[in-house]
């Protein structure tokens, strides 16, 4: 089963939830899709790591062949090419690697070359295979790295996959949840938290993904998020308390479910609940 963990903003507890769900899952793969600032590895401290470079294709222009007809410049919908003086200039960070300019060039002056955009680091931490995506500074789209990460795990054939998504609801999140069987929405119980929860709720509805909510930093008597979940008929899978000890362990880079029985029980129950929910959804899907 592939479980995606997402939230409308950063700092709600996506990594806390996905790291700990992976830890209690028996044999699992933890995939850090938050490629702009992956931090799951800080908890897992994976061993035996290997690195794989991720590239995408960008055009290379042969100036001797180019006759400055500028068909490529006019074609590029992303405006990544400009004709300055007697030279075509490529803005590689704006290029979306569509390859159209290469196909179009009447002089066959354009070939494609690989541009390094990031890496995937693989390692092991006890029962968990840890896959971390990292984007190069200045690259604008993480989608190719996330898709390389997910392609990597497809080949491994493990039961439980935890995908720690980037914050928000943009392209990189959509890429991350595309293949998910279940989406866990992590939210804080504040008005701001509810606003952000609503963003990811709208997203998983569009993708028709089974979903449930984990509320983090819960304080007794503050029920804004609870009320929202009731109103939208969202299942609250788990409530993580606003707890000083948890905060301390987490900020020390510890995996709480590996050292604290109470939290281990909390995440075991959460994973059980997610598994039941997901299989229920699959069963009711197949009846349709």
Q: b/e for 95-113, b at 16 or more Cβ within 10 A?
A: bebeebbbeebeeebbeee
Told to check if 83 binds another protein by CB under 8 A, we report: yes
Cα separation, 197 vs 182, in Å, equals 16
**Exactly one of 35, 80, 120, 197 binds another protein (CB under 8 A); which one?**
80
Of residues 19-78, those binding another protein (CB under 8 A): 73, 76-78
Of 42 and 78, the one with the shorter C-beta distance to another protein is 78
Q: How far is the CB of 86 from another protein (least distance, A)?
A: 11
Tokens standing for residue 117: 């955009």
Q: How far is the CB of 91 from another protein (least distance, A)?
A: 6
Of 89 and 230, the one with the shorter C-beta distance to another protein is 89
Of 115 and 239, the one with the shorter C-beta distance to another protein is 115
Mask of contacts with another protein, 124-163, x by CB under 8 A?
----------------x-----------------------
Q: How many residues belong to the site for another protein (CB under 8 A)?
A: 15
Cα separation, 33 vs 173, in Å, equals 8
Q: How far is the CB of 70 from another protein (least distance, A)?
A: 9
Of 70 and 235, the one with the shorter C-beta distance to another protein is 70
Cα separation, 41 vs 113, in Å, equals 31
Cα separation, 211 vs 204, in Å, equals 7
160-164 and 2-6 as β-strands: parallel, antiparallel, unpaired? parallel
**Exactly one of 48, 50, 64, 85 binds another protein (CB under 8 A); which one?**
85
Of residues 246-285, those binding another protein (CB under 8 A): none
Q: How far is the CB of 216 from another protein (least distance, A)?
A: 29
Closest CA to 139 of 110, 96, 100: 96
Closest CA to 30 of 19, 17, 42, 39: 19
CB 131 within 8 A of CB 30: yes
Report in angstroms the alpha-carbon separations of 230 from 11, 12, 213, 241, 243. 24, 20, 11, 19, 24
Q: How far is the CB of 138 from another protein (least distance, A)?
A: 11
Q: Of the listed pieces 10-18, 81-89, 181-189, 190-198, which binds another protein according to CB under 8 A?
A: 81-89
Give the count of alpha carbons within 13 A of 228, CB side only: 22
Q: How far is the CB of 82 from another protein (least distance, A)?
A: 5
Q: Which residues of the shown chain bind another protein in the complex (CB under 8 A)? A: 73, 76-80, 82-85, 87, 89, 91, 94, 140
């Amino acid at each position: 089963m592939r479980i995606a963990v997402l939230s409308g903003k950063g700092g709600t507890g996506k990594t806390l939830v996905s790291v700990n769900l992976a830890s209690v899952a028996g044999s699992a793969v933890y995939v850090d899709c938050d490629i702009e600032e992956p931090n799951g590895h800080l908890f897992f401290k994976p061993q035996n790591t290997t690195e794989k470079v991720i590239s995408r294709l960008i055009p290379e222009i042969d100036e001797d062949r180019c006759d400055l007809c500028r068909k490529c410049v006019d074609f590029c919908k992303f405006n990544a090419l400009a004709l300055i003086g007697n030279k075509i200039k490529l803005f590689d960070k704006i290029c979306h690697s569509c390859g159209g300019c290469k196909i179009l060039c009447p002089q066959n002056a354009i070939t494609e070359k690989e541009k390094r955009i990031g890496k995937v680091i693989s390692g092991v931490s006890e029962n968990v295979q840890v896959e971390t995506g990292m984007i190069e500074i200045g690259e604008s789209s993480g989608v190719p790295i996330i898709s390389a990460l997910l392609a990597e795990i497809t080949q491994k054939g493990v039961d439980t996959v935890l995908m720690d998504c980037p914050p928000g609801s943009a392209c990189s999140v959509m890429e991350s949840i595309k293949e998910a069987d279940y989406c866990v929405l992590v939210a804080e119980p504040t008005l701001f938290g509810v606003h952000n929860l609503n963003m990811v709720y709208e997203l998983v509805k569009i993708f028709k993904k089974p979903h449930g909510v984990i509320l983090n930093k819960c304080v007794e008597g503050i029920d804004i998020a609870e009320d929202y979940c009731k109103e939208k008929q969202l299942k609250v899978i788990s409530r993580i308390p606003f707890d000083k000890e948890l905060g301390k362990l987490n900020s020390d880079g510890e995996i709480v479910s590996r050292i604290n029985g109470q939290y281990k029980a909390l995440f075991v129950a959460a994973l059980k609940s997610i598994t039941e929910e997901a299989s229920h959804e699959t069963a009711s899907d197949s009846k349709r």
